[in-house]
Structure 1
Amino acid sequence: MTREIHGVAAAPGVALGPVRWLASAPATSASDTPGSDADAEIARAESAFDTVAARYSAQALEAKGPAADILFMTAALAADPALLDQVRAGIRAGGPTAHSVTQAVAHFADQLTALGGMMAERASDLRDVGQRVVAELLGVDPPGIPDSATPFVLAAQDLAPADTATLDPEIVLGLLTVAGGPTSHTAILAKALGIPAVVAAPGAVEITENTEIVLDGTTGIVQLEPDAARRADVLAARAHRTSVV
């Protein structure tokens, strides 16, 4: 019998394909070695924030509609003075530079989460800023969409504007997130791109890489390893939509 997990319907449509997970973010630790010169480390952190903010802004200039607005707002998060002050304080207290970023982001993300509603959903955008700044400081690639020549359903703990705004609907057939909500930026951008999406599906953590699923962005139901009849129904519906268009 086909297993199902349930989430929140975020963008209508049905997707059939193998699951690929978003690349994980670099981790930091309080036991990391701190820099020997606090002023130099603060300057390095400020430069990393500036670089990340500039990348968001560049993406926003190339985007259209809600994607551009969301990316500009995220660029503003990366330039928030209070966030930078918290990072500076962490470094001056002897904390490792990258971990000071992680801690400062966690502090403000927790505050946003406590506010609830749409403010809580901005916490994921802020965490993405932190992950990209940390990646810049560590000299590694930031979390991102898997490179694939064949279409797939993208799964993630949550998706950030920088990821969602650049999705190719020909390759990314659907979106599935463990966290998020129907008013998250993932949901807004998925609707704009016409990509089916299911969010707030904690059971998604059970899905292994390359498991075939049917994701229904209208009902919020995700079927794992669908049987032949269900696959045929989805493919027939897809062929019908294509012929109508």
Structure 2
Amino acid sequence: MTAAPAAAGASLSRGHRADARPPSPVRRPPSARGPRPSRPGGRAGRPGAAAGRRARRAAPPCPSRRPRPRAGRISAAAEAVARTLQESAATVEGERRELLETTAQMASDPTLVKGAAALVRTEHLPAPRAVWQAAGRVAEQLSALGGYMAERAKDVADVRNRIIAELTGQPVPGVPQRSEPFVLVATDLAPADTALLDPALVRAIVTAEGGPTSHTAILARSLGIPAVVGVTGASTP
């Protein structure tokens, strides 16, 4: 009669209990778990789905502070930019052609060209820096008007970058040239860049700035290219 309790005691002494529960998992405090991965936001500029290698739009040229070209070269550089845009406009039709022709007219706009030349003469700025500041003033005036005119401020920034590239001999900012399909990623796209996109190569567009009513989104829809705009961190390498 006493054997059974002895056996049970031996079993308990070895740590085997019939009512034992499995150990609870160790819970780490929230601070020790690390941050949760964030998901990029964004709004659909043109609904759709696509996949491809990522390609980034080239960064705008940096206006040098060193004295380079004289004021007279600003007009010549602006005319060269306008001519290039007119040649590009001749390769497309419809809304895309109209947009490129409008941008070409902005490149030779006397307000921008004369304003930059005046900064060279009166404030002794290098020509690229003068173009940067003069274009900034024009863009601010357009943005203050709101609506359609505010959208034109992006055209001014695009023209500014092209003129500075012409003056300094830097590559013209724009869409990378690829022979295989890709997803275009950029902080934002100039309307002139979007107008020249080839839907056979550009599978989709992702930008950090812009909205569903921007020219980038509107042109993407007309070209049938899926686009997501306003994506946080899209332009981060």
Equivalences for residues 160-179 of structure 1 within 5 A: 160-179=190-209
Tell me which moved more, 93-102 or 174-183. Answer: 174-183
Q: Please report how far the alpha carbon of residue 43 of structure 1 lies from its aligned counterpart in structure 2 after TM superposition.
A: 2.0
Q: Which residue of 2 aligns with 1:90?
A: 119
Q: Please report how far the alpha carbon of residue 8 of structure 1 lies from its aligned counterpart in structure 2 after TM superposition.
A: 2.4
Q: Please report how far the alpha carbon of residue 116 of structure 1 lies from its aligned counterpart in structure 2 after TM superposition.
A: 2.7
Q: Which residue of 2 aligns with 1:61?
A: 90
Q: Which has the larger radius of gyration?
A: 2
TM-score (norm 2): 0.78
- Separation (CA, whole Å) in 2 of partners of 1:47 and 1:165: 25
Q: Which amino acid aligns with 1:65?
A: G
Q: Which runs of 5 or more structure 1 residues have no equivalent in the other structure? A: 36-40, 209-245
- 2:209·2:229 contact (CA, 8 Å) conserved in 1? yes
Q: Which residue of 1 aligns with 2:5?
A: none
Q: Which has the higher contact order (CA 8 A, sep 6+)?
A: 1
- 2:185·2:235 contact (CA, 8 Å) conserved in 1? no
- Identity over aligned pairs, percent: 44
Q: Which residue of 1 aligns with 2:17?
A: none
- Hey, which bits of structure 1, 4+ residues long, moved more than 4 A? none
- Alpha carbons of structure 1 residues 34 and 168: separation in structure 2 relative to 1, 3 Å: closer
- Separation (CA, whole Å) in 1 of partners of 2:217 and 2:108: 25
Deviation digits for residues 113-158 of structure 1 (CA, Å, limit 9, x no counterpart): 2333332222111101010000000112101222323321111121
Q: Please report how far the alpha carbon of residue 12 of structure 1 lies from its aligned counterpart in structure 2 after TM superposition.
A: 2.2
Pairing 1:154–2:184 present: yes
Equivalences for residues 104-115 of structure 1 within 5 A: 104-115=134-145
Q: Which amino acid aligns with 1:112?
A: L
- 2:52·2:182 contact (CA, 8 Å) conserved in 1? yes
Deviation digits for residues 196-218 of structure 1 (CA, Å, limit 9, x no counterpart): 11222233234x3xxxxxxxxxx
Q: Which runs of 5 or more structure 2 residues have no equivalent in the other structure? A: 1-35
- Separation (CA, whole Å) in 2 of partners of 1:176 and 1:90: 37
- 1:177·1:200 contact (CA, 8 Å) conserved in 2? yes
- 2:154·2:191 contact (CA, 8 Å) conserved in 1? no
- Alpha carbons of structure 1 residues 72 and 33: separation in structure 2 relative to 1, 3 Å: same
Which of 60, 80, 88 aligns to 1:51? It is 80
Which of 149, 168, 192 aligns to 1:119? It is 149
Q: Which residue of 1 aligns with 2:46?
A: 11
- Separation (CA, whole Å) in 1 of partners of 2:230 and 2:146: 15
- 1:70·1:185 contact (CA, 8 Å) conserved in 2? no
Number of equivalences: 201
Q: Which amino acid aligns with 1:147?
A: Q
Tell me which moved more, 189-198 or 161-170. Answer: 161-170
Give the secondary-structure state (helix, strand or coil) at the position aligned to 1:173.
strand
- 1:53·1:79 contact (CA, 8 Å) conserved in 2? yes
- Separation (CA, whole Å) in 2 of partners of 1:34 and 1:10: 41
Pairing 1:20–2:49 present: no
- 2:44·2:229 contact (CA, 8 Å) conserved in 1? yes
- 1:66·1:192 contact (CA, 8 Å) conserved in 2? no
Q: Please report how far the alpha carbon of residue 74 of structure 1 lies from its aligned counterpart in structure 2 after TM superposition.
A: 0.8
Q: Which amino acid aligns with 1:109?
A: A
Q: Please report how far the alpha carbon of residue 2 of structure 1 lies from its aligned counterpart in structure 2 after TM superposition.
A: 7.8
